[in-house]
Structure 1
């Protein structure tokens, strides 16, 4: 079996990012290990889909180390939606995330592929909250 295990997300501060992803988005902290260079190996994961083989894709929260990396924080995909958070209950997760202070950029909409709304993470990266349509 092969799968994408981690995607790096450049952040400004480890602890602020951990709080956002665990408290506002409901991810779980899978690992937070100090490294010899003063950085940390921080991984957060959303729950794997029911019936999935193994865990879902995780985010490696990587603190920016220099000006070039800091310039990419919040704009890692050039303003496009670059991340997709699937849910099995859109209304539940939309309400919970809104109550937690997550900024949605639009009202939920129904598309042929599912119910979706674009939101921003703590740095401004755009995400879709998406409940795929039943097939």
Structure 2
């Protein structure tokens, strides 16, 4: 088995697609109109094993979860093979990192929050 996707609650499909594809450089894999909702899947690259399903909230409880699904913790991990290049590209695209890159025993890492408040690690494993 493998994890194929996780759901990320966002306020608006088109706003989220634009942010994740233009700012973070993700690939839009699927955008299928299902009538009352859309099946929108993005991934860091077209051949990524795990994707993110973008979902607009359908209840007030879901709306309140936007940006807080990780309860304030880093809960999304974006792995890179070239930390310096991706960090520079993302910074130029408008991503604000919460800290300077740091070296840990497991690799190089820096935390950023996406446009919707979700906290991520950009990480290059050692």
Q: What band does the TM-score fall into relative to the shorter chain?
A: over 0.9
Structure 2 residue aligned with 1:71: 64
Give me the whole-angstrom Cα distance separating, in 1, the residues matched to 2:15 and 2:90.
Answer: 16
Give me the whole-angstrom Cα distance separating, in 1, the residues matched to 2:121 and 2:43.
Answer: 16
Deviation at 1:55, TM superposition (A): 3.6
Would you say the 8 A contact 1:6–1:57 is kept in 2? yes
Instruction: Please state whether the residue corresponding to 1:44 is helix, strand or coil.
Output: strand
Would you say the 8 A contact 1:46–1:56 is kept in 2? no
Structure 2 residue aligned with 1:51: none
Structure 2 residue aligned with 1:103: 96
Structure 2 residue aligned with 1:28: 27
Q: Which contiguous aligned blocks of 4+ residues in structure 1 show a shift greater than 4 angstroms?
A: none
Residues 1:125 and 2:125 are matched in the alignment: no
Structure 1 residue aligned with 2:41: 43
Deviation at 1:56, TM superposition (A): 1.8
Uncovered stretches (5+) of structure 2, i.e. residues with no partner: none
Give me the whole-angstrom Cα distance separating, in 2, the residues matched to 1:113 and 1:127.
Answer: 16
Residues 1:115 and 2:114 are matched in the alignment: no
Deviation at 1:47, TM superposition (A): 2.4
Q: TM-score, normalised by structure 2?
A: 0.96
Deviation at 1:66, TM superposition (A): 1.7
Structure 2 residue aligned with 1:11: 10
Instruction: Please state whether the residue corresponding to 2:117 is helix, strand or coil.
Output: coil
Uncovered stretches (5+) of structure 1, i.e. residues with no partner: 49-53
Q: TM-score, normalised by structure 1?
A: 0.90
Deviation at 1:109, TM superposition (A): 0.3
Deviation at 1:123, TM superposition (A): 0.6
